[in-house]
Amino acid sequence: MCWSATADLVAGGAVTAVGVGCVTRAVRTRPRAVPLAALPLLLGAHQIIEAVIWNDGGGSGPAVVAWAVIALPLLPLWVPAGVWWATPAHARRRLLVPLAAGVVTAGVLGYVLATSTVTAEVRGHTMGYAIGLPHAGWLLAGYLLATIGSLLLSGERILVLLGVLAALAAAVCAALWRWEFISTWCAFAALCSAVLLRWLAPRRVSR
């Protein structure tokens, strides 16, 4: 997610700090948004785990498995469920499709992870992960529908913006990772976490 152990550690710490702020705000102002507000905590932990993988030089140890659990089955379930829970009851119907996609995608990825070995290796200034995925195209479509799709369909302006930023981040990071030039997802994770913190700011009431 970042280009070195140090970058992952620093970015992970910063994103985790934003996550603490998000959860604190959610508890005070929007309790139903706590699961979604905790997303930066998950992303921060993800980056800190990758710092350990960098120090280990890749491989297939417990840190790699923990990284894969978050990236593969957990995120496509966490994001749409968090958005669904934070959305008013009358607006949840449109989120059923991304939520269902997240459940199916997480189930398949969880099974693959439980029956396969995931490995990591340093590729230029990026960390590459390998695991055998059946029907990778369909799984990617389900993953994107669950995560980005749920944000775009949330109906809340700032969450829609977050979905747009996540889509752009995925495209840019995929291109740079393919070239093995540098991984920039940590920067986008920090940006998206800041947007989420803004969404949780106390709302002004007009008189």
pLDDT tens for 47-78 read 999 999 999 999 999 999 999 999 999 999 99
160 domain residue, yes or no: yes
205 is a domain residue = no
Q: Residue 205: pLDDT above 50?
A: no
Q: What is the DSSP track for 42-100?
A: HHHHHHHHHHHHHHHTSBSSHHHHHHHHIIIIIHHHHHHHHHHHHS-GGG-GGGHHHHH
Question: Is 25 domain-assigned?
Answer: yes
Instruction: Give the CA diameter of the chain.
Output: 60
Question: Has residue 206 been placed in a domain?
Answer: no
Is 207 domain-assigned? no
| Average pLDDT of the segment spanning 85-96 | 93
Residue 151 pLDDT: 96
Average pLDDT on 15-27 reads: 96
**C-alpha span between 26 and 201 (Å, rounded):** 9
Q: Report the number of distinct structural domains present in the chain.
A: 1
Range of the domain at 34: 5-199
| Confidence class for position 206, pLDDT limits 50, 70, 90 | very low
pLDDT above 70 coverage of the chain, percent: 90
Distances (CA, A) of 69 to 102, 110, 155, 187, 207: 14, 8, 29, 21, 48
